[in-house]
């Protein structure tokens, strides 16, 4: 029994260490969900036409925010492609029931980059949607940080790429954060946003209701392996293997202990 108490303490220590390690990484990259809080709408960005626009003038209805960057070689374009796909599947109408804002987290990107990406995405939507229903924005580093910090979206520049998570943030027309929606995967391993999840997220934002999401799995965007990724993978794998070994040891302990107890019982009866 003492052995299993020791094993249990070891597991708790490993889980605690893993939690602390993950928290350290997420302090730089990840999402700190701020449901119920508001994002500043007094920020100015540049749209794909090169015009300076006030965020408040764009968030006039439930709005979906997608933080990305236009020259990303990771998940940004696949996620935007999935957004374009789900827009044509839900019975809510962009521009009428909700708006979409894709905001570049790379301050070096230009309105021309935004325009090219906009044309690429609009070509994928299988129905005619208003030009202003999905805006592609750029901004300076101070403005970008003000918005991402308020939304709890943390990213990190590594070389010419940005390490960040892939998800959608739904806000009300007052700027209240109502929902974080993390896409899943289809059978081919591509991003998948369920139309019902998207629709309910828009409805929640329209009502101004902050709804938590249970799923905490984050998809990281990078063109190369960050320095800690291998360590994270080994850490999770190690804990999983260790726990499997512990389960096996426990089963073995139960199976071996039972005959011994029976033997002691029979010996006592003989005496």
pLDDT value of residue 206: 96
Q: Is the pLDDT of residue 106 over 90?
A: yes
- Which tokens sit at 26? 């997420």
CATH topology of domain 32-221: Glutaredoxin (3.40.30)
pLDDT value of residue 23: 40
pLDDT: which is higher, 182 or 13: 182
171 forms beta bridges with 63, 177
The secondary structure of 40-96 as a DSSP string is -S--EEE-TTS-EEEHHHH-SS-EEEEEE-TT-SSSHHHHHHHHHHHHTTSSS-BTT
47-69 pLDDT tens trace: 999 999 999 999 999 999 999 99
> Where does the chain have alpha helices with state H?
2-26, 55-58, 76-87, 111-122, 141-151, 195-207, 229-270
84-96 pLDDT tens trace: 999 999 999 999 9
Q: State the average pLDDT over residues 232-241.
A: 50
Q: Which of 14-18, 168-172, 186-190, 251-255 has the lowest mean pLDDT?
A: 14-18
pLDDT value of residue 155: 94
pLDDT value of residue 212: 72
Pairing of the two strands 153-154 and 30-31: antiparallel
Confidence of residue 232 (pLDDT cuts 50, 70, 90): very low
Range ranked top by mean pLDDT from 28-32, 116-120, 261-265: 116-120
Q: State the average pLDDT over residues 29-38.
A: 93
Q: What is the mean pLDDT of the chain?
A: 81
Helix axes 229-270, 2-26, angle to 10 degrees: 170
138-178 pLDDT tens trace: 999 999 999 999 999 999 999 889 999 999 999 999 999 99
Q: State how far the alpha carbon of 233 is from the alpha carbons of 123, 215, 238, in Å.
A: 38, 19, 8
Domain boundaries defined on the chain: 2-22+234-270, 32-221
What is the reported pTM? 0.71
pLDDT value of residue 213: 53
Q: State how far the alpha carbon of 76 is from the alpha carbons of 152, 165, 219, in Å.
A: 18, 9, 11
54 forms beta bridges with 44
How many residues are recorded in the chain?
271
């Amino acid at each position: 029994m003492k052995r299993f108490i020791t094993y249990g303490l070891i597991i708790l220590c490993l889980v605690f260490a893993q939690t602390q390690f993950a928290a350290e990484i997420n302090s730089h990259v990840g999402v700190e969900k701020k449901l119920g809080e508001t994002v500043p709408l007094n920020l100015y960005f540049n749209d794909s036409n090169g015009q300076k626009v006030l965020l408040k003038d764009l968030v006039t209805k439930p709005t979906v925010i997608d933080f990305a960057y236009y020259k990303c070689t990771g998940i940004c374009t696949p996620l935007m492609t999935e957004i374009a796909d789900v827009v044509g599947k839900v019975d809510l109408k962009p521009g009428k029931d909700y708006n979409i804002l894709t905001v570049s987290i790379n301050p070096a990107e230009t309105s021309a980059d935004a325009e090219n990406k906009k044309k690429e995405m609009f070509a994928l939507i299988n129905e005619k949607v208003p030009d202003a229903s999905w805006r592609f924005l750029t901004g300076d580093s101070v403005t970008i940080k003000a918005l991402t910090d308020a939304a709890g979206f943390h990213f990190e520049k590594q070389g010419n790429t940005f390490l960040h998570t892939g998800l959608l943030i739904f806000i009300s027309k007052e700027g209240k954060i109502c929902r974080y929606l993390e896409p899943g995967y289809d059978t081919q391993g591509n991003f998948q946003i369920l139309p019902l999840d998207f629709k309910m997220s828009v409805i929640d934002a329209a009502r101004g209701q902050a709804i938590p999401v249970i799923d905490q799995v984050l998809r990281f965007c990078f063109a190369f392996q960050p320095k800690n990724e291998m360590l994270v993978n080994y850490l999770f794998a190690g804990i999983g293997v260790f726990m499997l070994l512990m389960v096996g040891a426990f089963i073995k302990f139960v199976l071996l202990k039972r005959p011994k107890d029976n033997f002691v019982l029979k010996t006592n009866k003989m005496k």
